[in-house]
Chains A and B, each alone.
Chain A
Amino acid sequence: MINLNAVYALLLREVKIFFREKERIVSMLISPLLFLFVMGEGLAGGHSPVPGYTYQQFIFPGIMAMVILFTSITYGLYIIWDKRLDFLKEVLAAPISRSTLFVGKSLGGMLGAMIEILMLLTIGAIFILPLNVWKALLCLAAALPMSYLVTNMGLTIGARMKSMEGFGLVMSFLTWPLFFFSGALFDLATSARYIQVLSLLNPVTYSVDLLRIIMLGQGAFTVWADLGAIAVFCLATTILGVSAFGDLQQEK
């Protein structure tokens, strides 16, 4: 069902476009860096839930999750543009299954997220939290499933949405809440009950936790709980995404 040549072609397109729009790579990093350096510094006296680390170091894994979240969901939603500008028609008319198209797009989103993460890791390793190569590789590995599932969410919504006007709505009502209810900026164990409940339903929570375990050696859950939850969300978003792509038709 999956046509590898076609996946390669779709991915090649994303790579070329990604590197031709360098401003996009940089702009995606701006707000995470503001959080990390301005808020992280401003609250430097703030309490860090993990002993032996500063607050800035504590939120660094959370900021990394933020970069993955925003890059991947924006990438997924970009399919609305593709639909409106008719570029998608060419791909929809091609003799490839919708699953192939979906895989190509997901991998494209993951690739974009990896490039951003590499940049953030480099900045972070220099200014905030020294990391060895082994830990950096583990972070990248942990970023992969998260960017996969978030890209899928973006693609699913993008495939069902009719116009770009919905873009802002998704960012306000989905992306920011996913970020704030993930424990990226504070310790979930000591937060209010409603925050804890909402965070448990949020895939980003488990990715933040996993990254925190890798970088700081301590998280709210166990590694296996995080991996299990992430696996479930990956599976669920794959099913949703493939079915949304199956219904994808040419606009008009």
Chain B
Amino acid sequence: MPAIKIQNLVKRYSEVTAVDGVSLEIPDGEVFGLLGPNGAGKTTLISMLATLVKPTSGTALVAGRDIRTESLEVRRNIGIVFQEPSVDDLLTGRENLYLHSMLYGVPRREIRPKIETMLGLVNLADRADSLVKTYSGGMRRRLEIARGLIHGPKILFLDEPTLGLDPASRKAVWTHIRELKETHNTTIILTTHYMEEADSLADRIAIINKGKIIELDTPAALKKKVGQDLVFLKGDINEAAVRALPFVDSVQRGDGRFTISMENAGANLQALLNAGGRIEEVEVRRVTLDDVFLKFAGQQISEDAEEHSESIFERIAVNKTQGK
């Protein structure tokens, strides 16, 4: 039985279709990355799987339970770390973890030792008894992660788990996610718009844009679809000669330079430069998921992110205030 089986899930808001017919299977113990710009539908998809938002149509089985009819059973099996902070400001860190454990039915005698373990894990032991409103953004984030993990869920949803974290905390969270997968066989669904994060953690990645999954594969396979290495050339380039080289996959022109996707740049770069013509500037790098997203979604994640997220939510907000 797969941990999650999504069947043609749709969520439509007044004007925007946030999730547009997603079907997907995620096996037990997989770390699954949902990658896309803000507003692509990642959070809505996760909210539906966590039974927080009702789908417009379609359904999904989470831990074998239907999200439409068995929401309580679904919630017993999942943990969720939200994108926006939802820890209680007026309580201390320890109190937040205690209340969460009670709500999730952790046996009473296990609660205290578990809280200590989690506090140590996210490095908050010394501030555990301060009110959360005195915490920094990174500390709240870490508390939130501790809370999502404390009841040992079989399936864990992490919505942008490292957003706003400093590099050291981010690495600590990554390490912990890997440990969860290895020691507990936890199925983890992770949304992110950091390519590096998806690349280093996920077994498979779905690229999602405008509510649709546009590509689904392992990070390595996705990168392969774009080519292994990218070479950027500026100057008076002999395009036809470059295209004719056997190791070149594709040549694109834009931004005043040529982007050449090729195999094994280390061995073949010399030949490329010899054939290329009068070259002024050369840049060589490995393909990243950024390039993958650019190829499949036709846009870059970073430059689109802010504008896109605003447009969807503001349009909803405007509609609501106008009473539509």
Q: Residues on A close to B: CB < 8 A?
A: 3, 5-6, 8-10, 12-13, 16-17, 20-21, 85-87, 89-97, 162, 249-250, 252
Contact = CB atoms under 8 A, between A and B. Distances in A.
Given A13-B99, A87-B88, A95-B105, A252 B313 contact: yes
29 contacts: A8-B102, A9-B98, A10-B99, A10-B103, A12-B99, A12-B102, A13-B95, A13-B99, A16-B91, A20-B90, A85-B89, A86-B82, A86-B85, A86-B86, A89-B82, A90-B86, A90-B87, A90-B100, A90-B147, A93-B52, A93-B80, A95-B76, A95-B103, A95-B104, A95-B105, A96-B72, A96-B103, A97-B72, A249-B52
B82 A5 contact: no
B53 interface: yes
B29 to A, nearest CB: 22
Contacts of B54: 249
Contacts of B313: 252
Interface in B50-106: 50-54, 72-73, 75-76, 78, 80, 82, 84-91, 95, 98-100, 102-105
Contacts of A96: 72, 103
Nearest to B157: A93
B191 to A, nearest CB: 15
Contact of B53 (A6, A9, A85, A249): A249
A188 B86 CA distance: 48
Interface residues of B, number: 35
B106 to A, nearest CB: 9
Interface string B102-116: 111100100000000
B99 A93 contact: no
Contacts of A13: 88, 91, 95, 99
A45 to B, nearest CB: 47
B299 interface: no
A16 B90 contact: yes
Contact of A94 (B73, B88, B104, B108): B104
A16 B50 CA distance: 28
Contact of A5 (B100, B102, B320): B102
A16 B131 CA distance: 11
Contact of B99 (A9, A20, A252): A9
A3 B313 CA distance: 36
Contacts of A8: 102
A76 B102 CA distance: 23
Contacts of A93: 50-52, 75, 78, 80
B52 A92 contact: yes
A95 B77 CA distance: 8
Nearest to B88: A87
Contact of A250 (B47, B73, B87): B47
Contact of A162 (B90, B108, B320): B320
B242 to A, nearest CB: 48
Nearest to B90: A17
A86 B84 contact: yes
B307 to A, nearest CB: 18
B90 A95 contact: no
Contacts of A94: 75, 100, 103-104
B21 to A, nearest CB: 21
A184 B89 CA distance: 38
A211 B95 CA distance: 38
Contacts of B72: 95-97
Contacts of B131: 20
B316 interface: yes
A9 B103 contact: yes
Contacts of B104: 94-95
Given A93-B75, A95-B72, A17 B91 contact: yes
A162 B261 CA distance: 51
Contacts of B84: 86
A66 to B, nearest CB: 27
A96 B100 CA distance: 11
A64 B42 CA distance: 50
Contacts of B78: 93
A3 B105 CA distance: 9
A207 B149 CA distance: 47
B102 A6 contact: yes
